[in-house]
Amino acid sequence: MRWPAAVACCAVAWLLCAVPAFAVAPPTLSVTGASLIVAGTGEQLYSVNPNRELAIASTTKLMTALVTLQHVRNLDEMFTQYDWHPAPVDSQIGLIPGERMSVHDLLVAMLLPSADDAAMDLAYNVGGHSVRRFVAMMNAEARALHLIHTHYTTPSGLDTPGNYSSAADLVTLADYALHYSPFIKHTVSLPRATLQTGRYVRQVTNTDDLTGRVRWINGVKTGHTYDAGYVLVSSGTRDGMTLIGSVLGTDSEQARDDNALALLDYGFGEFHWVNPVRAGQVLARPAVSWSSNRAVVVAAGRFQQVVPRDDRVSIQVHAPAKLSGPMRRGARVGSASVVVGRRTLARIPLELGRALPAVPFFTRASQILRRPTTLMLLALALVAAVAATRLWRRRPRTVATGHLEER
């Protein structure tokens, strides 16, 4: 490949946010801790004491559900409730020792009405008849997910020393669990459900009253104890963007819901998804040597990210002004910079979308011959040749004569 001496740098100003959105003030939250992230990327958009280690009540059950699903493949498997008797204040579905219920229904009971007896049943059976062993599995998974401000001492979330997490760890765990398990993602979005197994059919209701009441909310988990106050991990989706937020230490269910909605509303009001570059998108059409055609230069990757609504997004394309074959399809021919506000967030390689064949010699020769300068030079050469020929013909001729010497 031959690059021209000058490399063209053309700035394609695609103004995705031409009119800045009205800036939304950060929410004033009455919480002990809070965190808001973008689902799938983990990008943190807002926080209050995100790494403070706090009691988290029944949001503990997110880890209980995750570990259960990592070790039980058949949700129709039946578990037998062991000899555990909850206190009257515990959230429960009234399981009695010896009662058999499917893993599916136990998970639903734990995630929706936040049943402590279902959580203990799962922990006992998945842990090989040892709740302590199951808790060790929970802590091992926390370490694997790098939840450095999280530790478990119970599968249910009841106030026990050493059972804590942080606002940031909770949203990270929820993001992973929702991605890892379609079952969890579906279940936590349900306002209510029916448990078919057990001694009798049970109707259960989700303790997260935002699910079903607010159209764009799709989970995730509530919690409440004396030490933790009212806790809520929430997921919401608007305009193709999903955010996950957590609020800890609120003083009532109403305050819990109000703070969770304020946090998510702030995120959706202040940020949005942008997708200015897609893989295969044509970003330049440089000229081709010895041809009237133009090359097709495309993006080799994509860029999509959540950015502030009032930040302008532009693309700066760095590609040669002219290309020469032969060049294969996919050959690297430059880069594109994605600029958000004043920050360059990504540089994406550019490549040829179509191969450039070698130009035949006769094609190049014919084009050279058709150039005005070439024709002028040929004409001058022809005139000079004709003049030289005439001069040659008109030159004086000398006749050689010889003299004979007499002897």
Pairing mode of beta strands 332-340, 313-318 = antiparallel
CA angle 241, 245, 248 (to 5 degrees): 175
- Token readout for 210 is 């935002």
Among 175, 184, 182, residue whose Cα is nearest residue 244: 175
3-state secondary structure 361-392: HHHHHHHHHHCHHHHHHHHHHHHHHHHHHHHH
Q: Are 156 and 45 in contact (CB under 8 A)?
A: no
- Cα 113 from chain centre: 32
Q: How many CA atoms lie within 13 A of 36 on its CB side?
A: 25
CA distance 102 to 377: 93
Q: What stretch of H or E contains 203?
A: strand 202-205
Active site residues: 58, 61, 114
What DSSP assignment string belongs to 101-154? Answer: EEHHHHHHHHHSS--HHHHHHHHHHHTTS-HHHHHHHHHHHHHHTT-TT-B-S-
- Token readout for 400 is 């050689």
CA distance 216 to 16: 25
CA distance 163 to 165: 7
